[in-house]
Amino acid sequence: METAADELPAILGGEPAVTLDQSEANRWPILTEEDEQAVLEVMRSGNITTHPVARELECEYAAFTGRKFALTHNNGTSALMAGFFALGLKPGDEVLVPTATFWASVIPMLWLGAVPVFCESEQERLGLDPVDVEAKITDKTKAIVVVHLWGLPSKMTELQAIADRHGLKIIEDASHAHGAKWRGRMCGSLGDISVFSLQGDKLAPGGEGGIFLCDDESYLERATCMGDMMRTLELPTAAARFAGTTFGIKTRIAPVSAAIARVQLRHLTKRNAKRNENLVYLSKALESLGFHTYLGPGHVERVYFEYLVRPDSERVGLPLDFLIEALVAEGCEAQRPRYPLLHQQPLFTEGAWREIARLPDEMPFPEYAPDAVPNTQLGNMQLLKLPSFPGADRTLLDQYIAAFRKVTGRAGEIRASRV
C-alpha cells in the first residue's frame, strides 16, 4: 500500500483519498431471495400472527446461545422490560446500569418503579466499570445491566464476581453482540436473563424483534404472562391460568420478522467474519497511527455492531472535531458516536422519570446530576465512529487508511488552518 502521509489533505486543498462508492460496502441489512422466500412462506400460510416460525426462532436462539429457554418479543425493548419484570423488581429497587448505552437497556425499568443508578464505563472495552459498580451498591441494589457495547464483551469476570458477592442478578443486554464470545461462551448466555434486539441495524436483524433468554423457568413464566396470551395458555405450570388476561402488555413478535431473523441468524457467522476481517485489518493500520481500536483482549471474541475508535490526542495531534472535518473532506464517513449519555437526558435532569416510576413520596429520589459520571463523559467525547464495512473490500479500506495517513501526517498544518 502506498504511503500517503506527505500528500496534501483534502481539507487543505488536496484530492480526497476516498473515491470509491461506499453504498454497497456499507449496505446493511443484507436481504436476499432467501429472506424474501421465508417471508412469502409465512404470508402464503395465511397465519401472519401465530405462525410457528416464532418458536423455531426461539429454538435456534436457545441452541445458539446454549440457553434452556428463549421467548421471542416484538422488539428488544420489550424483551428488556420482560427481563426487569421477570426479576421481580419493585418500586425503589436500584439497578446498576451504564449511562453510555442505548436508552432501552435502562428506561423500561422505570415502569416498575425501579431506579437506575448510573455507573461509569471503563475505557478499555467500554462496558460497565466494575470498580464504580461495586462502589455504588447499596442495600437497595438488586441487579446489574451489562451491555456489550458495540459488540465488545464487557468485563464479565469482575462483574459476575460482584454480582455473586452481593447477591445481585445480571441482565445481559447482548443487542450489539450476536455471535460475540467471552472465554469461549456466547454472549447471550452470560446473564441470569439475556436479551437480543433484532432491530433492522443489528447483526442478525428481523426488522423489529427481540429475544429473551434464561435458564430459570420461573423467569420464562413471568415474561410469558407479561406479554404473550397464547403462550401463557400453553405454559405447563399453574401460571397458564392467567391466559385470559395476561398481565396487560402484548409483546409477541410478528412472524414475518421472525422469518427474516431466522435467515439472518443462519448467515450471522459468515457475515460477522467479513466485518471482523475488514475491521481488524483497518484497526491494525489505525493503531500504528495512534488510534485505540478496541480489538479486545485474547479471551474475548468481539463482533462489530458499530466501529468506534479513540484517537490518542497527543499522537494524532488534532482535536476530534478537526479530525472529523478533515476525514469527511477526504470522503470518509466519520462522526461522533450516536448515543447521548442517558443520565444527562431531560428525562432525568428535569425529573420527568419520577412521573413514570411513580415512587411513593416517602421514598428518597436519587439526584441525577449531569456531571455525575465524569470519566465516561470524558471518554465518550473522545470517540470517533467509522463505518463497520459489512461488505467492503480492501481497496476501500486502503483508501480509508490513506485518508488517515494524510490527515495525521499533516496534523499541524490542519490545526493551524482551523484557528
Ligand X SMILES: Cc1ncc(COP(=O)(O)O)c(C=O)c1O
Under the rule (CB under 6 A), what is the footprint of ligand X? 75-77, 101-102, 104-105, 147, 173, 175-176, 197, 199, 210
Q: Among residues 342 and 414, whose Cβ is nearest to ligand X?
A: 342
C-alpha cell read off for 6? 506527505
Counting DSSP H helices and E strands in the chain, the numbers are 15, 13
Q: Among residues 79 and 286, whose Cβ is nearest to ligand X?
A: 79
Q: Find the shortest distance in angstroms from Cβ 18 to ligand X.
A: 27
Q: Among residues 101 and 276, whose Cβ is nearest to ligand X?
A: 101
Q: Find the shortest distance in angstroms from Cβ 199 to ligand X.
A: 4
Q: Find the shortest distance in angstroms from Cβ 73 to ligand X.
A: 8
C-alpha cell read off for 72? 421471542
Distance in Å from the first CA to the final CA of the chain = 33
Q: Find the shortest distance in angstroms from Cβ 169 to ligand X.
A: 17
Tell me how far the alpha carbon of residue 231 is from its chain's centroid. 28
Q: Find the shortest distance in angstroms from Cβ 418 to ligand X.
A: 33
The residue sitting closest to ligand X, measured at its beta carbon, is 76
Q: How far apart are CA 231 and CA 235, in angstroms?
A: 6
Q: How far apart are CA 128 and CA 414, in angstroms?
A: 36
Among 386, 339, 279, which residue's Cα sits nearest to residue 107?
Answer: 339
What is the length of the chain? 419
Q: Among residues 93 and 208, whose Cβ is nearest to ligand X?
A: 208
Cβ distance 84 to 217 under 8 Å?
no
Q: Among residues 125 and 176, whose Cβ is nearest to ligand X?
A: 176
Handedness of CA 407, 411, 416, 419 (dihedral sign): positive
Q: Among residues 342 and 373, whose Cβ is nearest to ligand X?
A: 342
Q: Find the shortest distance in angstroms from Cβ 365 to ligand X.
A: 25
User: Does 364 sit behind a cis peptide bond, omega within 30 degrees of 0 on the bond before it?
Assistant: no
Q: How far apart are CA 262 and CA 55, in angstroms?
A: 11
C-alpha cell read off for 188? 447471550
Q: Find the shortest distance in angstroms from Cβ 413 to ligand X.
A: 39
Q: Among residues 104 and 119, whose Cβ is nearest to ligand X?
A: 104
Q: How far apart are CA 28 and CA 294, in angstroms?
A: 22
Q: Find the shortest distance in angstroms from Cβ 340 to ligand X.
A: 13
Q: Among residues 77 and 246, whose Cβ is nearest to ligand X?
A: 77
Q: How far apart are CA 330 and CA 11, in angstroms?
A: 7
Q: Find the shortest distance in angstroms from Cβ 145 to ligand X.
A: 9
403 residue type, one letter: A
User: Does 29 sit behind a cis peptide bond, omega within 30 degrees of 0 on the bond before it?
Assistant: yes
Q: Among residues 261 and 402, whose Cβ is nearest to ligand X?
A: 261
Q: Three-state secondary structure along 41-60?
A: HHHHHCCCCCCCHHHHHHHH
